[in-house]
Amino acid sequence: MVSPNRETTGRRCSVYSYRPLMPLDAATKAKAKEELHEPDDTAPGLAALRSKFAEAVGAEEAERFEWALLATLRQAKWDQAKALDKMNALHKFSRKHAELFDNLTPDEFLGQAAIGVTSHLPTRNDRGELVLLVHGQAMSALARKHTMRDLLRYSVFYMCELMTDEQTQVNGVIIVENLKNYPMTALNKMSGAGLSGMRASFDWLGVSPMRLRGIYGCHQPWYVGLMLGLVKPFMSKKLRERVRLYGSNVSDMLQAAGLRPEDVPELYGGTLQGWEPDWHLKQLIAHRS
pLDDT in tens, 69-85: 999 999 999 999 999 99
**Is the backbone of residue 77 left (phi > 0), alpha (psi -120 to 50) or beta?**
left
pTM of the predicted structure, to 2 decimals:
0.88
How large is the average pLDDT for residues 206-221?
A: 92
> Which is more confidently placed, 169 or 199?
169
With a pLDDT cut of 90, the percent of the chain lying above it is 71
Q: Is residue 268 pLDDT above 90, yes or no? A: yes
* pLDDT of amino acid 19: 52
Instruction: Calculate the CA 163 to chain-centre distance.
Output: 8
**Average pLDDT value for residue range 261-283:** 95
Q: What is the mean pLDDT of residues 169-188?
A: 88
Which spans in 132-268 are helix H? 139-145, 148-162, 166-171, 186-189, 195-207, 224-231, 237-241, 250-256
Please state, in angstroms and as integers, the Cα–Cα distance from residue 289 to each residue in 5, 14, 76, following that order: 11, 16, 36
Mean pLDDT, residues 9-38 taken together:
73
Which range has the worst mean pLDDT, 33-47, 219-233, 247-261?
219-233
What confidence category does residue 149 fall into, taking pLDDT thresholds of 50, 70 and 90?
very high
- Res 3 pLDDT > 70: no
Residue 213 near residue 129, CB atoms below 8 Å? yes
Res 31 pLDDT > 80: yes
Q: Residue 8: what pLDDT?
A: 36
